Amino acid sequence: MDASAMRSRILEARVARLATADAEGRPHIVPISFALDGETMFFAVDAKPKRTTDLKRLRNIAANPAVAVLFDHYEDDWSRLWWVRIDGAARIVDDELAAARAIDLLAGRYEQYLQARPGGPVVAISIERMSGWSAR
């Protein structure tokens, strides 16, 4: 799959899976909503109920910024399967204007964020590598 096709698949996906690892390399994976802006992907901690505000994904990013994000499509017709993975470096966005712009991008993709803008940290992932596969 070429870069254009991978980007197109990412943009059609509604959810992705974020993989982080702690300082000892123990993996952690969670679903995320996201927005893409050029070579940067954003997600934010939103108002959905969570057990704690001390999120493992954020602690892992602080300890080890290397992340992977998986986008995929499954259906019983296996000729329609595909996946795209980005590898990159994540960071908490500490600039208020940049965070607000990222939240605007997220709200442009998800109506729920128009109703309740994410209030938690915004994370930016600098895309370093994309890989993918498609049955077609």
Q: Is the pLDDT score of 104 beyond 80? A: yes
- Give me the domains of the chain, ranges plus CATH numbers: 3-134 (2.30.110.10)
Q: pLDDT tens, 12-37? A: 999 999 999 999 999 999 999 999 99
Residue 101's closest CA among 120, 125, 122?
Answer: 122
State the number of CA atoms in the 13 A half-sphere of 17 facing the CB.
11
Q: 121-131 burial by CB neighbour count: b if 16+ within 10 A, else e?
A: bbbbbebeebe
pLDDT band at 46 (very low <50, low <70, confident <90, very high): confident
In Å, how far are 39, 52, 59, 104, 105 from 55, measured between CA atoms?
Answer: 25, 6, 6, 23, 22
Q: pLDDT tens, 108-118? A: 999 999 999 99
Q: pLDDT tens, 57-81? A: 999 999 999 999 999 999 999 999 9
Question: Where does residue 38 rank: exposed (0-12), middle (13-18), buried (19+ CB within 10 A)?
Answer: exposed
